[in-house]
Chain A
Amino acid sequence: MPEPREIELTINGERRAGRCEPRTTLVDFLRETCALTGTHVGCEHGVCGACTVLLDGAPVRSCLMFAVQAAGARLTTVEGLAPPGEMNDLQRAFQEHHALQCGFCTPGILTTMTALLADNPTPTREDVRRALSGNICRCTGYEPIVQAVLDCARGRAGRAG
């Protein structure tokens, strides 16, 4: 068996260290070693999007990276979107629009949409749908998710303007 490795990285602004086998995926490292179970794991082959986290600000599949590859990286998971026990405006918009039912897909969708809004603060409906194309939700039918994201973007533009 290959030797386990020690890795260090920054997750949600905090330095974290841990041991992992080379074959440990990043999502398993987050959930099992770091006890950050907000990031969900569904298909484990890149298709469902539930495991999406932000790697240096960009959304990536944490089931398609090995933890050893994230050494030194700066990660944001769903737990890092707002202070513990609180929700940010995007999360509140999801709540208001019923953009989740079982919530399994939600962490991956929130991180994906966080990156979309950082990149494109005033997305069109079509922009949101495109950005959402890599995340599967079996409950909501997507419409409330699109509404929540557009509503959050409008709210931010309103507060800025």
Chain B
Amino acid sequence: MKPAPFDHVAPATLEEALALLVEHGENAKVLAGGQSLVPVMALRLATPAWLIDLNRIASLAGIRQLDTGELAIGALTRHAAVERSELVARANPLLASAMPWVAHTAIRNRGTVGGSLVHADPAAELPAVCLACDATLVAQSVRGRRAIAAAAFFRGMFETALGADELLVEIRFPAWPDGRRHGFIEIARRHGDFAICGIAATVERDRAGRVGDARVVAFGVVDRPVRLAAVERALAGTDGGEDALRSAAGAAADGLTPRADHHASAEYRSELLPVLARRALAQALTPRRR
């Protein structure tokens, strides 16, 4: 056993959890799936005196579709439940196609959507999907509830807009318009490992086949997921054909300074960006037989 001593409390309701968070303040950490927090504690990079375990709070888990067409996912919903959900497959195919890339089966059986978003690993898949879809992250504290746009939530490496007394309670994905297509791809040394570089993309086209709204998000490259604005602009208004796609994807590394780590150099990430952007867009733009 490697973690430093701590005390464990598992409240049954969200209200109790929020009150405990205020009571213990800096000395507490919230425990969801534990798939990122427990390794961090085993390495003694975190030594909280209290763990506030959310796993008994049933109301924090679940997947539902709202009347507005939005897909609402409780923060404590396990990756495996999202991966297997038919509702998710219908209501947000990009999210569905990203799930098998998140870690390995045994990790997905415990890890939660909320935990992944709050942990905010720059190479994680779910933050990128949230950014591509303009998801809203719903935070709650004893002070009340507020909605945070994905674009404002991820502040940097392991850093988010969540306050110390707040819990992430729900993630809302706007309704998926008919005709929106998606692509998702990543490179890692081994399937299930964090991405060296990945792309999540959505593309909409008008009746004439012209590209309208396009979202291209890179992850694993800088300190948080980023939209590749140059690629999006270059693609908009084109016919979405192979040439348009290749030329748009060529701008993928524009303005970015990729990080270097023990997995890959900055140069390698710069090379991957246009290649993966092209492949993800090709997935999105290739007509699908249904």
| A interface with B by C-beta (< 8 Å) | 1-2, 5, 21-25, 28, 44-46, 49, 52, 55, 58-61, 63-66, 68-69, 112, 115-116, 130-131, 133-134
Q: For the complex, give the distance between the alpha carbons of A107 and B145 in Å.
A: 45
A112 touches B43 (CB 8 A): no
A60 touches B1 (CB 8 A): no
A34 to chain B, nearest CB (A): 15
Choose one: A21, A58, A134; the contact of B192 (CB below 8 Å): A134
B105 touches A131 (CB 8 A): yes
Show 10 residue pairs from A and B whose CB-CB distance is below 8 angstroms, ordered by the A residue. A2-B5, A2-B8, A23-B3, A25-B3, A59-B109, A60-B109, A61-B106, A64-B34, A68-B10, A130-B191
Chain B residues lying within 8 Å of A66, measured Cβ to Cβ, are 8, 34, 38, 51
Chain B residues lying within 8 Å of A65, measured Cβ to Cβ, are 34, 38, 110
- Known: A2-B6, A23-B5, A134-B192. Is A60-B106 also a contact (CB below 8 A)? yes
Nearest CB in chain B to that of A71: its residue: B10
Does residue B146 face the partner (Cβ distance < 8 Å to A)? no
A134 touches B110 (CB 8 A): no
Interface majority SS (helix, strand, loop, mixed), chain B: loop
B1 touches A133 (CB 8 A): no
Choose one: A45, A61, A134; the contact of B43 (CB below 8 Å): A45
Q: For the complex, give the distance between the alpha carbons of A128 and B7 in Å.
A: 39
A45 touches B42 (CB 8 A): yes
A3 to chain B, nearest CB (A): 8
B35 touches A133 (CB 8 A): no
B97 to chain A, nearest CB (A): 15
Beyond the given pairs A25-B1, A65-B110, 7 more chain A to chain B contacts, judged by CB atoms under 8 angstroms and listed by A's residue number, are A2-B7, A22-B7, A22-B51, A64-B39, A65-B38, A66-B8, A66-B51
Encoded as 1 (CB less than 8 Å from any A CB) or 0, chain B from 117 to 155 comes to 000000000000000000000000000000000000000
Q: For the complex, give the distance between the alpha carbons of A68 and B10 in Å.
A: 10
Chain A residues lying within 8 Å of B103, measured Cβ to Cβ, are 134
Q: For the complex, give the distance between the alpha carbons of A28 and B6 in Å.
A: 16
Chain B residues lying within 8 Å of A58, measured Cβ to Cβ, are 80, 109
Does residue B2 face the partner (Cβ distance < 8 Å to A)? yes
B4 touches A23 (CB 8 A): yes
A61 touches B2 (CB 8 A): no
B38 touches A1 (CB 8 A): no
